[in-house]
Amino acid sequence: MNDIYTVVDKLLESDLAKQPLLAPNTSSYRDDLELKLNNFITIVKTLSPQGGIIEKTLYEASSELENITKKILSALDEYLSGNAGEAYRHIADLLEMEIITRHIFKLCSSMDKYSGKNDSNSLYRVRLSEKPLFKKHDMFHIPFNSRHLVGTQRYSIAGVPCLYLGSSLYVCWHEMGSPDLNKLYLSRFGCRKKNVQYLNLAYSLKMMKPEGLDTFIDNTSEIERDLARIIFLPILIACSYKKAHSPANFNEEYIIPNLLLQWVSKKSPDISGISYLSTNTPQMKHHDININFVFPPKTYTSRKSFYCQTLSDIFELSDPVSWQLLDTVSIENKYNNIDTLISINNMHEDYIKYYHTTKFKDQENKLKKMVVKKVHN
């Protein structure tokens, strides 16, 4: 029996539900994280060994889950003490625990749905530029010979150019800090290879709560995926904090996601990237426009190669086009005649709800008319 409703309901009674998370002014990220992780373990220990499959499994794994939380906090403490290598070792040890290796691929998804075809889902990349951009290279990851331009991201590796994509132009725009639209250049990305896997951390407890017919889903794959999501919840919590200080040269909220990405980059050849929810947009269960993707480079073939050969083999993209120029193109929009009422009090959530009527969606539809091709080194 899929008893995910029972488990999620108990977890939602705690302070774990409000994702993205933000430490209160009276506390640090580290202390608030410890409080939330301890809260999670306390709830797990109250689950019943006579419950459904998920409840029983979590109860029996409480000591392993507690070990996961301790390793996360140890990694954080080592990093903050100046021992970055030891911090990474704690995360690597965590990800090699039997309970993690047994469930991690239940959380992996295939990039097949992002095939780059006109009628498929697409991924997007946005760049802010005062000068015209014409080449596909301009929209790929920062070249290896320009590592000095690599900034601090929630999921990043110091000095390592990664490829960041979004499930919508809207989330890309928010991740850029909501700049002037007329200074943006846009590209659409598609996956050109089969069975490219990514670790799917684009979920929250609220999104997991069953509704309607979801309550009756009882197949094995759904139960295994739901169980894996709860087992990974301590890691997800540690990676889901908004930064307390902006702008800042260092954000302790980024330590654990940075270490996780390092592991994906070097220790997990079967996982190409990570998807995660934006901390800058509302997170709604039945909408997937607020998802970010990060793909670290996997190969450095030569000094003359400025781009990761593995990533250039995986992705194809359209030529960059300015928002202004694309805005002059007109295509039929079947939603134009919809009378949409957006309440001021819930502007951001309603914007996502009626996203199909927005200018962002209109621009995405135009980008889908553009040809995508791979980047050549």
Instruction: Give me the chain's average pLDDT, please.
Output: 87
Same-domain pairing of 100 and 134: no
Least confident stretch, 135-144, 185-194, 251-260, 338-347: 338-347
Averaged over 350-375, what is the pLDDT? 86
Residue 219 has pLDDT above 70, yes or no: no
Same-domain pairing of 22 and 65: yes
Last residue within a domain, chosen from 239, 258, 277: 258
Task: Compute how many other C-beta atoms are within 10 angstroms of the C-beta atom of residue 297.
Answer: 19
In a domain, 267, yes or no: no
At 230 the pLDDT is 97
3-class DSSP state of 263: helix
In a domain, 87, yes or no: yes
Amino acid at 138: D
- Report which DSSP code applies to 142: P
In a domain, 201, yes or no: no
Averaged over 130-145, what is the pLDDT? 91
Residue 272 CB partners (closer than 8 Å, separation 6+): 111, 196, 197, 198, 295, 298, 310, 314
At 332 the pLDDT is 58
Averaged over 288-310, what is the pLDDT? 84
Give the integer Cα–Cα distance in Å for 246 and 6: 38
Same-domain pairing of 93 and 119: no
Read off the pLDDT band of 345 (50, 70, 90): very low
Residue 40 has pLDDT above 90, yes or no: yes
Q: In terms of C-beta density within 10 A (0-12 exposed, 13-18 middle, 19 or more buried), how is residue 134 classed?
A: exposed
Tell me which residue of 81, 38, 93 sits closest to 234, measured CA to CA.
38
**Please, are residues 36 and 16 in contact by the beta-carbon 8 Å criterion?**
yes
At 3 the pLDDT is 85
In a domain, 16, yes or no: yes
Same-domain pairing of 355 and 226: no
Q: Mind giving me the DSSP string for 240-295?
A: -BPPSSSS-S--GGGHHHHHHHHHHHHH-TT--EEEEE-SSS---TT--SSEEEEE
Averaged over 220-224, what is the pLDDT? 84
DSSP bridge pairs for 322: 185
Same-domain pairing of 41 and 132: no
Amino acid at 356: H
Same-domain pairing of 303 and 247: no
Is pLDDT larger for residue 373 or for residue 300?
373
Same-domain pairing of 96 and 120: no
Residue 214 CB partners (closer than 8 Å, separation 6+): none
Q: Number of structural domains, the chain?
A: 2
CA distance readout (Å), 83 to 30, 88, 250: 16, 9, 16
Same-domain pairing of 158 and 13: no
In a domain, 279, yes or no: no
**Please, are residues 145 and 306 in contact by the beta-carbon 8 Å criterion?**
yes
At 258 the pLDDT is 97
Same-domain pairing of 105 and 117: no
Kindly report the pTM of this predicted structure. 0.90
At 206 the pLDDT is 85
Same-domain pairing of 362 and 232: no
In a domain, 306, yes or no: yes
Same-domain pairing of 179 and 31: no
3-class DSSP state of 87: helix
Give the integer Cα–Cα distance in Å for 311 and 191: 10
pLDDT, tens digit (0-9, with 9 covering 90-100), for 77-114:
999 999 999 999 999 999 999 999 999 999 999 999 89
Same-domain pairing of 171 and 300: yes
At 208 the pLDDT is 86
Last residue within a domain, chosen from 258, 276, 310: 258
Cis ω for the linkage preceding 20 (within 30 of 0)? yes
At 280 the pLDDT is 82
Is pLDDT larger for residue 245 or for residue 198?
198
In a domain, 206, yes or no: no
In a domain, 333, yes or no: yes
Question: What's the domain range around 247?
Answer: 4-109+218-258
Give the integer Cα–Cα distance in Å for 317 and 189: 4
Is pLDDT larger for residue 348 or for residue 244?
244
